Amino acid sequence: MTDNDKPRPSNFIRHIIAEDLRQNKNNGRVHTRFPPEPNGYLHVGHAKSICLNFGIAAEFNGKCNLRFDDTNPEKESLEYIEAIMADVRWLGFDWEDRLYYASDYFERLYEYAEILIRDGKAYVDDLSADQMREYRGTLTEPGRESPYRNRTVEENLDLFRRMRAGEFGDGARVLRARIDMTSPNINMRDPVIYRIKRAHHHRTGDRWCIYPMYDYTHCISDALESITHSICTLEFEDHRPLYDWCLDQLPVPCHPQQIEFARLNLNYTITSKRKLNELVTEGHVSGWDDPRLPTITGMRRRGYTPAAIRDFCERIGVTKNDTVIDMSVLENCVREDLDRNCKRIMAVLRPLRVVISNYPDGQIEQLDAPYHPNRPELGSRPVPFGKVIYIERDDFMADPPKKFFRLAPGREVRLRYAYFIRCDEVIKDNATGEVIELRCTYDPATKGGNAPDGRKVKGTLHWVAADHALTAEVRLYDRLFSVPDPGREADWRSTLNRNSVEVIKSARLEPGLASALPEERFQFERLGYFCVDRRDAALNHPVFNRTVTLKDSWVKESQGG
């Protein structure tokens, strides 16, 4: 079943759009946009916005633009632009020929600002930033009008043109909308719409020394692109009157409707671009694509699939109230997708050597092992079996408690796809007492996993033939933070989980994995889902990332299990 065949839970945005279509608003057009600022990499919260904007467009036969909101040149860069485009594509969405930049509208934004000035709806203010803050008032007190508020149109036009021409220093003057200093909504108290800033812009170079502010730019960009529904997060709800005010004053082609929804918050992680940036630049993680980060590129490197992320965004729904989603919801979406679609193979992370005493020296058998129990169409592969194998250290106990059903002295278990073996002897390191090898015997009659005499074993172990094993580095990831809401702590760095990654240098894998491709995903039987690291894996140095465990072990822990 593809995403499009799945029944979609409805939400209030779909209702609004369906109703608009019923009334033939916008002549039946639906046109949305995803408007990232290229000042960082996209994260799982952006994935929600991407799925929503592109998803709604697809569902209603509309279009969705990708638009970079690039009005803040100091923090923006080409690296981010390219990463954002790659991430949106990887998630499975296509803006076709509709790639836009707010900076492409700088000239028109400037012309619109002159119109506001001519209409007495904008003025150049000389107050300093501190003074402006003082004049702005508070939530309980109205603001006061700037002494420069009543400049003539001619004076304002002259000053604004000279701002553009570079006659004044950075921050010396601003252009403000002339709205209402007593408005209960602080956003309407004559907001700044242009500032002077000598900063090199990644697209417009040094052509401009004045830059339009976000609120002013965003609504006009939407209108110039004939957006019908401008979907954004709740923090912009109080900005909506300004969005509408700007468009009402100007001869723009249309007036899009702004609709706000609650942003995605996930526990045990952070989705603030600023903090993500700090994690990367301070070296707490290995880069923007560190598999522990909730960035799209990090999730990709970890092995999450686009389908799982889209499924997650669909399941969490779209609402007007802020909630925190449990990380396990995302992980379960990943598990479900990988469970259905991954080949299953055997790998031993912490090898314990097992010698099968009665197995002929030098003999190798190729056992046929299907890739998926429920999907025969995925085929099977030969797995070599020999006299010396590795099993997982955890699968043996010298002195097992009652409920331990795996290997122990005198105990018989099944080797997956192979034979029953019985543990006869335990070899320990003389100095440390550590178990270093087991001597076992196998029952040739149990080939394939069943005993003709009907005797049963309780445990089935995965294993890898020692002489044929592929040695690989395997990275086990855990949550990056050790508290549910790290963003809330003032000292959020101190809540980093010190054990969020464990590197196993020489895991032993089935030899067939030597030909695994970058990003290829597998279930390592009994261990979890793993994928080939797209950055560090090399031909003679395989590296696998654990994407997610087979089961949600956090549920147990948090319930004290």
- CA-to-CA distance for 202 and 283, rounded, in angstroms? 26
CB of 317 to ligand ATP, least distance (A): 12
CB of 109 to ligand ATP, least distance (A): 18
Q: Which helix (H) or strand (E) holds 424?
A: strand 420-428
Catalytic residue among 25, 75, 98, 263: 263
CB of 496 to ligand ATP, least distance (A): 19
Q: Is 263 a catalytic residue?
A: yes
User: Given the complex with ligand ATP, which of 232 and 480 has the nearer CB atom?
Assistant: 232
Tokens 């020692």, located at residue: 466
CB of 295 to ligand ATP, least distance (A): 12
User: Given the complex with ligand ATP, which of 66 and 124 has the nearer CB atom?
Assistant: 66
Contact pick of 49, 72, 297, 523 for ligand ATP (by CB under 6 A): 49
Residue of minimal Cβ distance to ligand ATP: 45
CB of 485 to ligand ATP, least distance (A): 14
Distance of CA 348 to the CA centre of its chain: 29
User: Given the complex with ligand ATP, which of 42 and 175 has the nearer CB atom?
Assistant: 42
Q: 308: which 2 tokens?
A: 């799982």
- CA-to-CA distance for 218 and 103, rounded, in angstroms? 11
User: Given the complex with ligand ATP, which of 272 and 553 has the nearer CB atom?
Assistant: 272
Catalytic residue among 14, 37, 145, 535: 37
Q: Which helix (H) or strand (E) holds 185?
A: none
User: Given the complex with ligand ATP, which of 104 and 145 has the nearer CB atom?
Assistant: 104
Catalytic residue among 48, 173, 189, 273: 273
CB of 66 to ligand ATP, least distance (A): 11
In DSSP notation, 214-232 reads HHHHHHHHHHHTT-SEEEE
User: Given the complex with ligand ATP, which of 156 and 230 has the nearer CB atom?
Assistant: 230
Site string for ligand ATP, 253-292 (x = CB under 6 A): ----------xx------xxx-------------------
CA angle 37, 43, 47 (to 5 degrees): 90
Is 73 a binder of ligand ATP (CB under 6 A)? no
Is 45 a binder of ligand ATP (CB under 6 A)? yes
- CA-to-CA distance for 355 and 211, rounded, in angstroms? 73
Is 495 a binder of ligand ATP (CB under 6 A)? no
β-pair partners for 531 = 521, 545
Cβ partners under 8 Å of residue 392, min gap 6: 348, 349, 350, 351, 352, 461, 462, 526
* Pair 475, 503: CB distance under 8 Å: yes
Q: Is 535 a catalytic residue?
A: no
- Sign of the torsion angle spanned by Cα atoms 512, 517, 523, 524: positive
- CA-to-CA distance for 73 and 214, rounded, in angstroms? 12
- CA-to-CA distance for 552 and 546, rounded, in angstroms? 14
Report 212-241 residues binding ligand ATP (CB under 6 A): 232-233
Q: Is 37 a catalytic residue?
A: yes
Contact pick of 36, 62, 298, 351 for ligand ATP (by CB under 6 A): 36
- Part of the chain binding ligand ATP (CB under 6 A), chosen from 46-54, 289-297, 311-319, 455-463: 46-54
* Pair 466, 389: CB distance under 8 Å: yes
User: Given the complex with ligand ATP, which of 263 and 353 has the nearer CB atom?
Assistant: 263
Cβ partners under 8 Å of residue 243, min gap 6: 215, 218, 219, 230, 236, 258
β-pair partners for 99 = 66
CB of 111 to ligand ATP, least distance (A): 25
Contact pick of 29, 35, 63, 91 for ligand ATP (by CB under 6 A): 35
User: Reduced to 3 states, what is the DSSP secondary structure of residue 493?
Assistant: helix
Residues that bind ligand ATP (CB under 6 A): 35-37, 45-46, 48-49, 232-233, 263-264, 271-273
Would you please indicate which residues are annotated as catalytic (active-site) residues? 37, 263, 273
